[in-house]
Amino acid sequence: MSNNNKIVSIVDDELDITKLFQDAICGNLNGVSVVSFTNPVTALAHFKENKESYVLVISDLRMPELNGLELLKNIKKLNSNVRTILTSAYEVNEDHKFQESMKEGIIDLFLDKPVTINRLCQKVSDMVHNQKRSS
């Protein structure tokens, strides 16, 4: 895989959400491969194999086996340059672990669900383009 092929990953245990996000992002970003996973454990395994190519991981918070915070924490340990977006339909502002993860820089951006496709694409585009400049 060449360096100019950047990977954006979407991890959500709801297949329709990964499809929606993937279609939206694919239609808006050039030079980026979008991969999606409904299993966070599989997503992490893929990340480990391709960690140098990843630019962004978008993860839902509540998932079976491995929640979004744990997933993003593992990802940042493997490659601290990867940008991260956490999404959730639940109220998280009072959540201690969430607050800690924001402070530690494990989560670069939080998006409430439902998120509009325009907002999602704009944020993804910003993060991917800002990432390219810094690397």
- Is there a domain that residue 15 lies in? yes
- Is there a domain that residue 135 lies in? no
- Is there a domain that residue 82 lies in? yes
Element (H, E) at 109: strand 109-112
Residue range of the domain that includes 32: 6-129
Element (H, E) at 97: helix 96-103
What domain count does the chain have?
A: 1
Give the residue among 105, 127, 116 at the shortest CA–CA distance from 6.
Answer: 127
Using an 8 Å Cβ cutoff, are 85 and 106 in contact?
A: no
Prediction pTM value:
0.92
* Spatial separation of the C-alpha atoms in residues 67 and 52, rounded to whole Å: 23
pLDDT recorded at residue 1: 38
- Is there a domain that residue 1 lies in? no
For the chain, the distance separating the N- and C-terminal CA atoms, rounded to the nearest angstrom, is 17
pLDDT digits (tens, 9 = 90+) for 50-83: 999 999 999 999 999 999 999 999 999 999 999 9
pLDDT digits (tens, 9 = 90+) for 10-39: 999 999 999 999 999 988 788 899 999 999
- Is there a domain that residue 118 lies in? yes
Q: Which residue has the tokens 């050039």?
A: 30
- Is there a domain that residue 134 lies in? no
pLDDT digits (tens, 9 = 90+) for 93-131: 788 999 999 999 999 999 999 999 999 999 999 999 876
Q: What is the CATH number of the domain that holds 48?
A: 3.40.50.2300
